[in-house]
């Protein structure tokens, strides 16, 4: 027999002998098992790690999408903010102008402007005081003549076919929707002359959206009149006009289904029914005053008396 190296291991349970070759085989087996375990553990670890990396990639992609969405929304919010700031500024300018005009009207009609009151409150006070006296108001011949020239009365057209649409809700002839009509439509031939219903100044004479060629007259005491769908103008912005002056011609410009005049009457940025003012006459003016409650008629009359010292014989209201 060949010589073999024997290794004896003794413990309390006894002694065991191993040859070197057998020990090496067992050691190699444990090494192989350890390597396999390491490989398997590594594979499992790599798989878990890869799964976590994929999850992180998905989260990163989601966060990038959220970030892009937030950037887009922030951009929209900034644009909205700028638009609102512009609108607030515009409304502020408009409110300042309205307050100035209301203060002017209050002074004209004998009221002391109180800027601490809300705008609607000031208008309500002026209305209330006006309604207290308007029922007993009487106008002199001179007062009635001056008022007739200062506020828009009568028909702005001498020749027309018919009134096709009045003031109030209607079915829009183009959009076929129920909308509020802020004036009245008067059918007439293209080129029919339009005349100023009161003294005033031309505030606007340009194209304006669906109105087409639009004209706006600014009259005394807070009144304005508007004229839409004109074919051409007879006046320009800044011109002063007297009652009965030629100001333009009927047309079919803007959103229109045929030649006609769109006629509006405004008082302190509120629209009134033009038909009431068309019916104004020495016989009917008291009825019209009582019907149009938004206007402070008595204060206007008082201002006429104090400003022009009119003391002619009074005309009894019918």
**pLDDT exceeds 90 at position 236:** yes
**pLDDT exceeds 80 at position 220:** yes
Share of the chain above pLDDT 90, in %: 27
- Maximal C-alpha separation, the chain: 162
pLDDT for residue 235: 96
**Overall average pLDDT of the 289-301 stretch:** 79
**pLDDT exceeds 50 at position 33:** yes
Report which listed range, 83-97, 167-181, 197-211, is most confident: 197-211
**pLDDT exceeds 90 at position 233:** yes
pLDDT for residue 9: 63
Cα dihedral angle (75, 77, 82, 85), rounded to 10 degrees?
Answer: -170
62-92: pLDDT as tens digits: 888 888 888 888 888 888 888 888 888 777 7
**Overall average pLDDT of the 207-219 stretch:** 93
What DSSP line would sit under the chain, residue for residue? Answer: -----EEEEEETTEEEEEEHHHHHHHHHHHHHHHHHHHHHHHHHHHHHHHHHHHHHHHHHHHHHHHHHHHHHHHHHHHHHHHHHHHHHHHHHHHHHHHHHHHHHHHHHTT----TTS-HHHHHHHHHHHHHHHHTT--EEHHHHHHHHHHS--S-S-SS-SEEEE-SEEEE-TTT-SEEEE-SEEEE--TT-EEE-SSSEEEEEEEE-GGG-EEEEEE-GGGEEEEEEEEEEESS-TT-EE-TT-EEEEEB--SS-SSSEEEEEEEETTEEE-HHHHHT--TTTHHHHHHH-TTS-HHHHHHHHHHHH---PPEEPP-
**pLDDT exceeds 80 at position 3:** no
312 band by pLDDT with thresholds 50, 70 and 90: very low
**Mean pLDDT score of the chain:** 80
Report which listed range, 123-127, 181-185, 201-205, is most confident: 201-205
149 band by pLDDT with thresholds 50, 70 and 90: confident
**pLDDT exceeds 90 at position 157:** yes
**pLDDT exceeds 80 at position 301:** no
271-287: pLDDT as tens digits: 899 998 998 887 888 88
268 band by pLDDT with thresholds 50, 70 and 90: confident
In the CATH scheme, what is the code of domain 119-315? Answer: 2.70.70.10
C-alpha pair distances (Å), 103 with each of 97, 119, 218, 268: 10, 10, 16, 11
Instruction: Provide the phi-psi class of 234: left if phi over 0, else alpha when psi is between -120 and 50, else beta.
Output: alpha
Share of the chain above pLDDT 70, in %: 76
Report which listed range, 38-52, 128-142, 184-198, is most confident: 184-198
**pLDDT exceeds 50 at position 196:** yes
pLDDT for residue 313: 41
**pLDDT exceeds 70 at position 107:** no
pLDDT for residue 318: 38
Domain ranges of the chain: 1-80, 119-315
Cα angle value 51/56/59 (rounded, 5°): 130
pLDDT for residue 190: 95
């Amino acid at each position: 027999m060949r010589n073999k190296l024997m290794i004896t291991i003794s413990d309390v349970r006894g002694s065991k002998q191993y040859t070197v070759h057998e020990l090496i085989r067992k050691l190699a087996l444990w090494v192989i098992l350890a390597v396999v375990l390491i490989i398997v553990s590594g594979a499992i670890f790599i798989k878990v790690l890869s799964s976590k990396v994929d999850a992180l990639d998905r989260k990163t992609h989601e966060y990038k999408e959220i970030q892009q969405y937030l950037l887009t929304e922030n951009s929209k919010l900034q644009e909205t903010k700028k638009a609102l700031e512009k609108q607030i500024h515009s409304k502020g300018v408009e409110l300042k102008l309205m307050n100035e005009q209301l203060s002017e009207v209050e002074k004209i009609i004998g009221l002391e402007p109180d800027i601490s009151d809300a705008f609607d409150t000031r208008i309500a006070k002026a209305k209330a005081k006006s309604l207290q006296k308007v029922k007993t108001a009487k106008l002199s011949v001179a007062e009635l003549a001056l008022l007739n020239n200062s506020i828009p009365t009568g028909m702005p057209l001498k020749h027309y076919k018919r009134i096709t649409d009045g003031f109030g809700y209607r079915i829009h002839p183009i959009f076929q929707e129920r909308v509020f009509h802020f004036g009245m439509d008067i059918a007439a031939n293209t080129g029919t002359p339009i005349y100023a219903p009161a003294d005033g100044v031309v505030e606007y004479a340009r194209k304006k959206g669906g109105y087409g060629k639009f004209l706006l007259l600014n009259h005394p005491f807070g009144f304005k009149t508007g004229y839409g769908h004109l074919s051409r103008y007879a006046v320009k912005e800044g011109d002063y006009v007297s009652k009965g002056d030629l100001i333009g011609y009927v047309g079919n410009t803007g959103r229109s289904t045929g030649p006609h005049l769109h006629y509006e009457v405004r008082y302190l940025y509120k629209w009134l029914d033009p038909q009431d003012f068309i019916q104004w006459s020495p016989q009917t003016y008291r009825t019209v005053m009582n019907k149009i409650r938004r206007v402070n008629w008595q204060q206007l009359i008082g201002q006429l008396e104090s400003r022009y010292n009119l003391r002619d014989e009074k005309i009894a209201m019918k």
